[in-house]
Amino acid sequence: MNMSILLWKLRSLIQSKDHVGNMMHTTLNTLKRNLHDILNAAKFDESNGCLEGTNRKIKQIERTAYGYANFNHLVTRIKLEEKDAIIKEKASDYYLAA
């Protein structure tokens, strides 16, 4: 679908004066607030998914360890986890290629 047509349809839906119910009205307000970001996500191929995954891993390490007394230990643990993930990824690539 053409981006300009999509934009026109979204804006007409948001500006609609029809009574759509309270929950749908809330949804349309959220859509209106985030319209620029939604259109950018549709337009561009880039994503911050990898970064979000890394942040999730770090938070999980912090939760599992109940906080490290030494920041250097935390950094070392994060590096070990990342190194382990890279080794597993390379091993799975090796087995898939064989």
Nearest Cα to 54, choosing from 86, 10, 22, 9? 86
State whether 73 and 39 are in the same domain: no
- The pLDDT-based confidence of 36 (bands split at 50, 70, 90) is confident
Would you say residue 34 has pLDDT above 80?
Answer: yes
Q: Give the residue numbers spanning the domain of 78.
A: 49-97
Rounded CA-CA distance 59/52 in Å is: 11
- The residue out of 27, 43, 59 marking a domain boundary is 43
Q: pTM of the entire structure? A: 0.47
For the chain, give the percent of residues with pLDDT over 70: 82
Nearest Cα to 61, choosing from 90, 82, 88? 82
Average pLDDT for 46-55: 85
> Please, what's the b/e burial string for 14-29 (b: 16 or more CB within 10 A of its CB; e: otherwise)?
eeeeeeeeeeeeeebe
Contact 74, 68 (CB under 8 A): yes
Q: For tokens 């009574």, what's the residue?
A: 19
State whether 82 and 54 are in the same domain: yes
